[in-house]
Amino acid sequence: MEVLELLRINLLSPMVLAFALGIVATLVRSDLKLPDELYTTLSIYLLLAIGLKGGIALAETSLAVFWAPALATFLLGVIIPIIAYIVARRIGKLSVADAAALAAHYGSVSAVTFAASQTFLDAIGIRYEGFMPALVAILEVPAIVIALLIAQVAGGQQGGDWQKAIYELITSKSILLLVGGMIIGWLTGPRGGKEVAPLFLDLFKGALTFFLLELGMVAARRFRDLPGAGLFLLGFGIIMPIVNGLLGVLFGHWAGLSLGGSTILGVLAASASYIAAPAAVRIALPQANPGFYLTAALGITFPFNLAIGLPLYYTLATWITGGA
């Protein structure tokens, strides 16, 4: 399938169009706004649904099949924040705290971008391993911990409590819902999946569309910070995901994942966290500038990945895997 056709399919999906609608609503100063309670409920629903689906698939997956992708994902969680920190410090000339904050966000993962990648692959008829949601949980924590430790060793952590931040990260709703949902799905297996399918499987794409409508409005509000962010942050928010996405695809291919699985691991590596990472960074690195890490993750990288990144990483995976 040609790149332009992939781009057309992705841009004309209900999820991406809902995200664009949210951006437009904010730019024209519409009074459209989802209730805060609904936004929170949707985020809880999506995280739990992703965990459940991964656990159900994991129940039917042998360790011999899963260990290599799990190891590859963990290694990405260690390597990516180190690369991001070095780039932010040496090229961007950012402070230790700001560089570590960016590293935490870009080493971690966006569960919503992951869900969008599954929808994109479903739309073009590409299959992928069912245990991919388990890799989301594996990638969520290590990168943030590595970034906070870098800041601690480099002397940039001043006035923050990185140990408390790690505890808050591990007990955060995103980790609890992903891991807890995965355990529930693993224990109950396909039988349990059938019992909750009408809510957690059949309605998933509709809920994701609703959530992306709200994220479009949130992202548009970060656009006003772009002029102050500078050219480095704009380049970082686009080039870093491409580099990370390429690494993810390569690691996925080496770990024996299919074309679809390698694409999704590329998406996971390319995405930037805006749920778990900000909470941990606010506690451990209070001196880090939110205008940098939130603008880059949510105002630059998330829209880029949603509109262009998904077909791009699939194309890279096709070249690397030979379309297998």
Q: What is the pLDDT of residues 137-150, one digit of tens each?
A: 888 888 888 888 88
- Under 8 Å between Cβ of 130 and 57: yes
Distance between CA atoms of residues 118 and 111, nearest Å = 11
CATH of domain 3-22+33-318: 1.20.1530.20
| Block residue for tokens 């599954």 | 118
Q: What is the pLDDT of residues 199-250, one digit of tens each?
A: 988 899 899 998 899 888 988 887 777 776 678 999 999 999 999 999 999 9
Tokens representing 247 are 């690494």
HSE (side-chain half, CA atoms, 13 Å) at 78 = 7
- Under 8 Å between Cβ of 281 and 104: yes
- Range 190-195 contact pairs with CB under 8 angstroms and sequence separation of 24 or more: 190/56, 190/59, 190/60, 192/56, 193/52, 193/53, 193/56
| Block residue for tokens 């963990």 | 74
φ/ψ (deg, to 5) at 35: -60, 140
Gyration radius from the chain CA atoms: 18
Nearest to 47 by CA among 189, 165, 180, 209: 180
- Under 8 Å between Cβ of 8 and 310: no
pTM, whole model, 2 decimals?
A: 0.88
pLDDT, residue 218, reads 86
Quick check: helix, strand or coil at residue 155? coil
Non-local (6+) Cβ contacts of 279 within 8 A are: 168, 169, 172
CB atoms within 10 A of CB 201: 15
pLDDT, residue 156, reads 46
Tokens representing 191 are 């039988």
Nearest to 274 by CA among 251, 296, 259: 296
Instruction: State the virtual CA torsion across 57, 197, 50, 322 in degrees, nearest 10.
Output: 50
Positions of the chain with pLDDT lower than 50, given as ranges: 156
pLDDT, residue 324, reads 61
Distance between CA atoms of residues 196 and 75, nearest Å = 33
Distance between CA atoms of residues 97 and 154, nearest Å = 9
- Under 8 Å between Cβ of 304 and 17: no
State the chain's mean pLDDT as an integer: 88
CB atoms within 10 A of CB 161: 13
Tokens representing 207 are 């809920």
